[in-house]
Chain A
Amino acid sequence: MKKPSRLDLIFSLLGACLVLFLLAPLLKMLLGSPAGELHDALTDGEVRSAIALSLTCAFWATLIGTVFGVPLGYLLARRSLPGKHFIEALVDVPVVIPHPVAGIALLLVFGRHYFGGQFFSRFGLTFVGEVPGIVIAMLFVSSSFLINAARDGFRNVDPRLEYVARTLGYGPLGAFFSVAVPLSWRNLLSGAIMMWARAISEFGAILILTYNPKVASVLIYDRFSTYGLKYALPPALALVLLSLSVFALLRGISLQRGQGRAA
């Protein structure tokens, strides 16, 4: 084994500090609650349906984000659009907007008196106080993760490979699906995971649009403000463990695929 260089030592030390900082609160949460409490949380019907609602709404948000965001990522990577830098910056804005402000902004578009709300109500879709409200709040705050990941992924694919596919008889759409998508698969998947995860964590914007039915983040805060820390920890822990396992599973898949490609 090679002797670690000075850089390795210093960087490991610095990195370890941050890992510890990230790990400590999670560990404290894990060790601080007895197994019984976690079991209680997982068998509590209200907690279960809130977590299920969080996971499914985040899934729908991610699905919508994929359908509309991957094409946008491709255009941003490949075409010189008018106002491209503006669009790129705009995509990042939801990340920095305070979340209640995001919720209010959405309310002013999708409320019953506003354009979006009136348009979708023709198809029987209302947002305020309903599940679709949760989905659009999640979509708003998290889609930039997927769009940026898709854009970066497509940028790494050599356009000449797509030209080759075109010379072999594929149309532009065919080349996109048979060359660009498979080669940037890892970026797309990890972007989708990040988007899904960020969607689950959303609280402030959802609260404005839809309080009932409660997603996990809202229920946990509610438990905290109504009953105190002791009753907020177990559902929080259940949510962290569940999302962590889904996270690890999907990361594992994306990593294996990536290695398969490299080999």
Chain B
Amino acid sequence: MRAAPRLFMVLLCVLFGLGGAKPSSVALSAGTLRTGTAGGEQQQLIVFNAGSLTAPFGDLLKEFARLHPEVTPQQESSGSLDLVRKITEFGKPCDVLAVADYEVMPSPLIPQYADWYGIFARNQMVLIYTASSKFAGEINGNNWYEILLRPDVQSGHSDPDADPAGYRTLLLWQLAEKYYRKPGLYEQLNKTVPAKNIRPKSVELVALLQSGELDYIYGYRSVAEQGGMSFVALPPEIDLSEASKAELYSTVSTQVAGSKPGEKKTITGLPILFALTIPKNAPHQQLAEEFIRFALSPQGQEIMKRRKLTLISPALASDLEKLPKGLRSSFASLGKGRK
């Protein structure tokens, strides 16, 4: 009998605890969406999406399930590379895979695990800050590096070995050195982020930013907008946002962890593009095609825009020949130059 009030107290405290921590934990929900139960006619649609696509794809799936009551969507969100691993190493079934870094598609996914990919949105590197960040009133897209170089300003980025946003920060600094014609700027900026200001992913960085531990963090525009945070947009010559500037971006490169501990590999600058595909082992191929058609339709695009995605319209397919027939009208060709 005594256990009951105690359990109640525990639950009560948990609720308090969670309530108190809410403001900073917004970005933490790597939610799974599940509606209804899989009855006789029910069909599952398993969608793996990058963390930055959780909100737009959540909305898309909700609307898709409303239009198709027989569909039970299952959404799984994590880092793009983790999602790829779930398919390549764990063989987990997946109908639609949508990643924030299209370069995982040509390798390792194609040709063993998928035949094609489509690019449907783009992202850009920005500086995210809050109203209480030091010099928040002064910073803009031209003086940002001068402010970050001030001695009492704390800035952070994610781990270049663990998160593309991390190595993209290093690429951004190199591009900035060229763009502003300031030799040594890369080294100077690199010194502004000591090891203690590095975290594996943007989720942890956002927590540090919102608690005032850091003043500025490097991250994606989508992360800033979906979290309702202020950000400084940087010149397109350095923020890796424009497909048309791919050649400029490719003039810089950096070293990140290779295929095993101790090994390094070189990463060259590329525009940041969102891509999707239907993996070869997709258990519900037809449904997956239908969902992608819906996502790229005017109605689907409207939903994604509401969640602040910068869309590429029409979406671009890596290889129109290999695209399922039912999807050909939704894509244009990516062109021969880039794969």
Measured CA separation A93–B14 after assembly (Å)? 6
| Interface residue? B327 (CB, 8 A) | no
Residues of chain A within 8 A (CB-CB) of B25 are 100-101, 104
Given A104-B24, A231-B261, residue A112 in contact with residue B213 (CB < 8 A): yes
Minimum Cβ distance to chain A for residue B13 (Å): 4
**B24 and A108 contacting across the interface, CB-CB below 8 Å:** yes
Contact A227 B213 (CB under 8 A): no
Residues of A within 8 A of B312 (CB): none
In the complex, whether B85 has a CB less than 8 A from a CB of chain A is yes
A211 to B198, CA, bound (A): 7
B21–A108 CB distance below 8 A = yes
Interface string of A91-130 (1 = CB under 8 A from B): 0110011001101110110011110000000000000111
The answer, among A97, A128, A223, for a CB contact under 8 Å with B261, is A223
Contact B204 A208 (CB under 8 A): yes
The CA of A112 and the CA of B162, in the complex, are separated in Å by 26
B200 contacts partner chain A, Cβ-Cβ < 8 Å: yes
B82 close to chain A: CB less than 8 A = yes
Contact segment of A81-89, A179-187, A255-263 = A81-89
Max chain B Cβ within 10 angstroms of own Cβ: one of A86, A114, A210, A226: A226
Q: Judge if B153 is at the interface, Cβ distance under 8 Å.
A: no
CB neighbours (8 Å) of A107 from chain B are: 24, 207-208, 211, 213
B89 at the interface (CB under 8 A from A): yes
* Complex contact A93–B10 (CB within 8 A): yes
Are A111 and B79 in contact (CB-based, < 8 A)? no
CA distance A107 to B79 in the complex (A): 24
A12 located at the interface, meaning its Cβ lies under 8 Å from any Cβ of chain B in the complex:
no
Query: Considering the chains assembled together, what is the distance between the CA atoms of A113 and B28 in angstroms?
Result: 22
A107-B207, A108-B21 as given contacts; A85 in contact with B14, CB under 8 Å = no
Q: Please measure, in the bound complex, the distance between the C-alpha atom of A222 and the C-alpha atom of B159, giving whole angstroms.
A: 10
Q: Is the CB of A96 within 8 A of B10?
A: yes
Q: How far does the Cβ of A44 sit from chain B's closest Cβ, in whole Å?
A: 7
Instruction: Decide yes or no whether B136 CB sits under 8 A from chain A.
Output: no
Q: How far is the CA of A112 from the CA of B154 in the complex (A)?
A: 11
Query: Are B199 and A211 in contact (CB-based, < 8 A)?
Result: yes
Residues on B with C-beta less than 8 A from A212 are 195-196, 198
1/0 contact string of B137-174 vs chain A (CB within 8 Å):
00000000000000000000001011000000000000
**Are B261 and A89 touching (Cβ within 8 A)?**
no
Considering residues B18, B20, B200, B211, which has the most beta carbons from chain A within 10 angstroms of its beta carbon? B211
- The interface size bin for chain A is 35 or more
B21 to chain A, nearest CB (A): 5
B207 x A103 contact (CB < 8 A): yes
Is A90 on the interface with B (CB-CB < 8 A)?
yes
- In Å, the complex CA distance between A86 and B11 comes to 11
Contact A228 B85 (CB under 8 A): yes
Take A225-B81, A228-B85 as given contacts and tell me if A129 and B197 are in contact as well, using a CB distance cutoff of 8 Å. Answer: yes
Report whether A97 and B211 are in contact in the complex, using a CB–CB cutoff of 8 Å. Answer: no
B28 touches A207 (CB 8 A): no
**Interface check B212, CB cutoff 8 A:** yes
Q: How far is the CB of A178 from chain B (nearest CB, A)?
A: 32
Also in contact, A108 and B162, with CB within 8 A (given A97-B17, A211-B200, A212-B195): no
- 20 interchain pairs, CB-CB under 8 A: A46-B261, A92-B10, A93-B14, A97-B14, A97-B17, A103-B207, A112-B213, A113-B212, A128-B208, A129-B194, A207-B199, A207-B200, A208-B204, A208-B208, A223-B261, A225-B82, A226-B257, A227-B259, A227-B261, A228-B85
Interface residues of B (CB under 8 A from A): 5-6, 9-10, 12-14, 17-18, 20-21, 24-25, 28, 79, 81-82, 85, 89, 159, 161-162, 194-200, 203-204, 207-208, 211-213, 257, 259-261
